[in-house]
Amino acid sequence: MERLSLEYGKKSKLEFAVYPAPQISTAVVEPYNSILTTHTTLEHSHCAFMVDNEAVYDICRRNLDIERPSYANLNRLIAQIVSSITASLRFEGALNVDLNEFQTNLVPYPRIHFPLATYAPIISGK
């Protein structure tokens, strides 16, 4: 992120970060990595969406009836959310905005650039 900020200083940077959960953790250093990257996010990102890994795991189990969700299941759900959030950036239309307007509408103050994303309905394909 630091290098991107140096090379593209005036460009807006949108970030999607997946934060670890203790019950699903695969590495001991995951909490440390998330803390260190949050500091970088505060300094170098203009808008950051955070995703809780445990919440996504629970949604897959409860709403999608997947007994043991795999990384593919989790990634598909996160991909749908990211796709929905960025749809106005990718497609033409009257209500669509560019990245600067996107950031202006979602971020009230520069240091408070962590908007909350919700997605519904989440239903099983069965």
Please state the domain count of the chain: 1
| pLDDT reported for residue 9 | 81
CATH code assigned at 52: 3.40.50.1440
Classify residue 115: in a domain, yes or no: no
Long-range pairs for 95-103: beta carbons < 8 A, 24 or more residues apart? 99/12, 99/14, 100/12, 102/12, 102/14, 102/47, 103/12, 103/14, 103/46, 103/47
Task: Let me know if 7 is a catalytic residue.
Answer: no
Nearest to 114 by CA among 21, 46, 56, 67: 46
pTM of the entire predicted model: 0.80
The domain in which residue 19 lies consists of: 2-106
Classify residue 76: in a domain, yes or no: yes
| pLDDT reported for residue 59 | 92
| pLDDT reported for residue 91 | 84
Catalytic residue, candidates 15, 54, 92, 101: 101
Classify residue 124: in a domain, yes or no: no
Q: What is the mean pLDDT of each run of 10 residues along the chain (126 residues)?
A: 85 86 78 84 86 90 90 90 85 78 80 81 72
Classify residue 116: in a domain, yes or no: no
